[in-house]
């Protein structure tokens, strides 16, 4: 019997608490599973069948809003997104941040501004909490290892965006790490 493509979903359930679900993906598209929650933190491929890799893009889309909540490119094994939903019963402490920006081709050296945002569900408001501008004429990456950490409250959503002054640039990689602690 051939192994199927298995995806593991880390998300917040309807109560805002951390949950893990699994889904065996079918061989045709679209493939439907049913679960509800407040946000997806990560989707990872746990088994890939005889191909030994994820051979097609996996897009997790809301059936009610049509919005894309997670995406795994073909050939990759984990979501490619820079966001985190803090559970309602925990706090997060962000410790590390890395970003890499590349000029695509020709033209000038773009300036790319990376911004970190926190959306708080309780007050339904977003706050800019981080800003860093990379001038590709002088650098391509940055790394921050925060010794104290940046606290995220229960229910906060941390996410990052990028703006550029020209269209010949790309954020080629972006990573952050954080620790979760019970909020008791």
pLDDT at 184: 67
pLDDT at 2: 47
Distance CA 155, CA 157 (A): 7
Distance CA 100, CA 21 (A): 32
CA distances for 59 relative to 37, 133, 146, angstroms: 17, 30, 33
pLDDT at 115: 93
Asked if residue 175 and residue 94 are part of one domain, the reply reads yes
Asked if residue 68 and residue 18 are part of one domain, the reply reads yes
CA distances for 109 relative to 68, 102, 112, 121, 181, angstroms: 31, 9, 10, 38, 42
Q: Which residue has the tokens 């917040």?
A: 12
Of 53, 81, 109, which residue sits at a domain end?
Answer: 81
Asked if residue 148 and residue 94 are part of one domain, the reply reads yes
Q: How many domains does the chain have?
A: 2
Strand residue runs (E) in the chain: 5-12, 18-25, 39-48, 58-61, 68-72, 83-85, 90-103, 111-120, 125-135, 141-152, 156-164, 169-182
Asked if residue 175 and residue 89 are part of one domain, the reply reads yes
Asked if residue 89 and residue 65 are part of one domain, the reply reads no
Of 27, 56, 81, which residue sits at a domain end?
Answer: 81
Q: Which residue has the tokens 């501004």?
A: 113
Asked if residue 48 and residue 122 are part of one domain, the reply reads no
pLDDT at 154: 92
pLDDT tens series, the chain, 184 aa: 345 677 888 999 999 999 998 887 766 556 666 678 888 898 888 877 777 777 778 888 877 787 888 888 888 888 888 899 999 999 999 999 999 998 887 767 888 999 999 999 888 999 999 999 999 889 999 999 988 888 999 999 999 999 988 777 888 888 899 999 987 6
Helix (H, G, I), strand (E, B) or coil at 118: strand
pLDDT at 1: 38
Asked if residue 136 and residue 124 are part of one domain, the reply reads yes
The radius of gyration computed from the CA coordinates of the chain, to the nearest angstrom, equals 18
pLDDT at 146: 85
Distance CA 78, CA 7 (A): 9
pLDDT at 92: 93
Question: Which pair of structure tokens corresponds to residue 23?
Answer: 């889904």
Asked if residue 159 and residue 91 are part of one domain, the reply reads yes
Structural domain harbouring 60: 5-81
pLDDT at 29: 59
Of 81, 102, 128, which residue sits at a domain end?
Answer: 81
């Amino acid at each position: 019997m051939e192994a199927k493509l298995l995806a593991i979903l880390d998300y917040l359930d309807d109560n805002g608490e951390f949950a893990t679900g699994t889904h065996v993906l079918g061989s045709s598209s679209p493939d439907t599973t049913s679960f509800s929650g407040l946000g997806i933190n990560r989707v990872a491929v746990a088994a890939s069948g005889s191909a030994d890799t994820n051979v097609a893009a996996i897009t997790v889309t809301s059936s009610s809003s049509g919005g894309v909540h997670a995406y795994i490119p073909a050939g990759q094994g984990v979501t490619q997104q820079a966001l985190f939903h803090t559970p309602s019963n925990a706090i997060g402490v962000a410790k590390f941040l890395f970003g890499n920006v590349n000029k695509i081709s020709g033209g000038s050296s773009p300036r790319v501004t990376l911004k970190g945002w926190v959306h708080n569900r309780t007050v339904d408001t977003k706050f800019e909490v981080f800003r860093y501008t990379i001038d590709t004429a002088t650098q391509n990456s940055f790394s921050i290892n925060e010794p104290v950490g940046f606290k995220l409250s229960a229910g906060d959503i941390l996410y990052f965006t990028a703006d550029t002054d020209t269209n010949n640039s790309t954020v080629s990689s972006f990573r952050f790490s954080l620790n979760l602690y019970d909020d008791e």
